[in-house]
Structure 1
Amino acid sequence: MATTPASPMRSVDRALDVLGVLEDARLPLRLSEVARRADLHVATAQRILNVLVDRGYAAKEDTGYVAGPAAVATAHAFLVNNRLTPVALPILQELAATTGLTPTLFVRVGSARVPIARVEGRNPLRYQLPIGDKLPLHLGAGKALLAWLPEDEQGACVAAAVPFTRASGQQITAEDLTAELRDVKQNGFALSQDERVLDVTSVSAPVLKDGHLLGALSVVGPSSDLPGSDHARVITEVRHAAGAVAARCP
């Protein structure tokens, strides 16, 4: 019995699934592992990888497949053409000067957040936070995005994340995270301590324009640079900066 060819849209979905697998991988992946993570037959994954390699969106190394250089060009096109970065950079620079911390602008990509602009504070972070890196929504600045998602999308993200353990050792259930997100939305900001990295504190606020979530603005630094006595001032600065980005965004 003849099989029905996959629709063009289904083929695009599968190709993007494979590309997403390569984006998330920290090491080269063998064909069988790409197929498993993308939930595809090995032969289908091979055909898609062949096309992605030809177009430069994947590369084949001795130990497996990795994302290709064409993805860098796509990322550059976004950074040059998106409407947030140009208006946000001077605001991030001012925020770095007034707080001494490192401000970053994030946008949501599926169930992750991606930094698209950053200005270093007085004391650079001891860990890397590359532009374009995928980070979780349920930790740190991600909560300033997750709290404003529609209820069904938020619920799906919460269900996929829990249970988990923060860097501090605190174990988080679905009930814990849902209650925290409710508080974040009610208060208009997220204050995070020792969540993804020990001895690091961040303050984050959503960038909202006419009720539409554009991104999240966060400042982060060593906890010693952001003592409890300074939280209120920094929260005000971050919320004001997030509002300024939204107001200037066309």
Structure 2
Amino acid sequence: MAPTSASPMRSVDRALDVLGVLEDARHPLRLSDVARRAELHVATAQRILNVLVDRGYAAKEDSGYVAGPATVATAHAFLVNNRLSPVALPVLQELAATTGLTPTLFVRVGSARVPIARVEGRNPLRYQLPIGDKLPLHLGAGKALLAWLPEDERAACVAAAAPFTRASGEQITAEDLTAELRSVREDGFALAQGERVPDVTSVSAPILKGDTLLGALSIVGSSSDLPESDHPRIITEVRHAAEAIAARCP
């Protein structure tokens, strides 16, 4: 169990831990599940949930607790006020028109990546990638973020993720992932084939403003829409688009 403390900052930390548990859940959670995932005593989790429900950041349903409607308002405030989306959208639109594929803009949130803008290409993917959904850093476009994290943060993410198996069935060790991230950083882009979803290929590049990692730009399509013969052109397009977004960002 996490240590208890009367510190106001510790109380904020614990409340955010509980909110994070609700954000990551794919179904309503019982009180005991929330407490276990947040590493809190049940009584502490209950007090925090009561406050979150009162403020609209959590909701109680018959089957358990879920994130509340106030989280939507917070997400909307970010989408309206962040500096990246407005300058990126025209670039995404041009990239979708040029390639026919679907470009997506990601930002890092802790040990995950979150899509904050997307433009559908001529051939939309069969699966949905909702704006605001949390996705892993060690798969697909996440590597265009993970490779540029500070070394200690990168190593911690690798240790937490590996070993794992990709959708293609490929088994990856921590050593494999570390070597791959080194290559991604040297090459300036990440190419992923069937890593998170079978028969889907993505090309991703970091959005860098000097030494600051702002986000990542990824273009994705079915492997038939993005054959190997077309990889060099798409890689060039994505890298140039990422550089254009960085140049336009204040």
Structure 2 residue 108 is the aligned partner of structure 1 residue 88:
no
Match of 2:104 in 1: 104
Structure 2 residue 166 is the aligned partner of structure 1 residue 166:
yes
The residue matched to 1:234 in structure 2 has which SS?
Answer: helix
The residue matched to 1:224 in structure 2 has which SS?
Answer: coil
Paired letter, 1:60: K
Paired letter, 1:129: L
Distance 2:215 2:171 in 1: 27
Paired letter, 2:132: G
Runs of 4+ aligned residues of structure 1 deviating over 2 Å after TM superposition are none
Distance 2:230 2:125 in 1: 19
Deviations 1:189-214 (A, max 9, x none): 00000000011000000000011000
Distance 1:6 1:71 in 2: 26
Match of 2:43 in 1: 43
Match of 1:12 in 2: 12
Distance 1:80 1:221 in 2: 28
Paired letter, 2:43: A
Deviations 1:143-190 (A, max 9, x none): 000000000000000000011000000000000000000000000000
Distance 2:125 2:10 in 1: 42
Identity %: 88
Paired letter, 1:137: L
Paired letter, 1:157: C
TM-score normalized by the length of structure 1 = 0.98
Match of 1:63 in 2: 63
Match of 1:218 in 2: 218
Unaligned runs of 5+ in 1: none
Paired letter, 1:132: G
Distance 1:164 1:128 in 2: 23
Unaligned runs of 5+ in 2: none
Match of 1:77 in 2: 77
Distance 1:246 1:78 in 2: 19
TM-score normalized by the length of structure 2 = 0.98
Match of 2:23 in 1: 23
Cα drift, residue 5 of structure 1: 5.2
The residue matched to 1:79 in structure 2 has which SS?
Answer: helix
Structure 2 residue 202 is the aligned partner of structure 1 residue 206:
no
Paired letter, 1:58: A
Output the aligned Cα RMSD: 0.7
Distance 1:85 1:5 in 2: 39
Structure 2 residue 244 is the aligned partner of structure 1 residue 247:
no
Alignment size in residue pairs:
247
Distance 1:242 1:78 in 2: 21
Distance 2:62 2:228 in 1: 51
Deviations 1:35-89 (A, max 9, x none): 0000000000000000000000000000000000000000000000000000000
Distance 1:99 1:139 in 2: 23
Cα drift, residue 107 of structure 1: 0.1
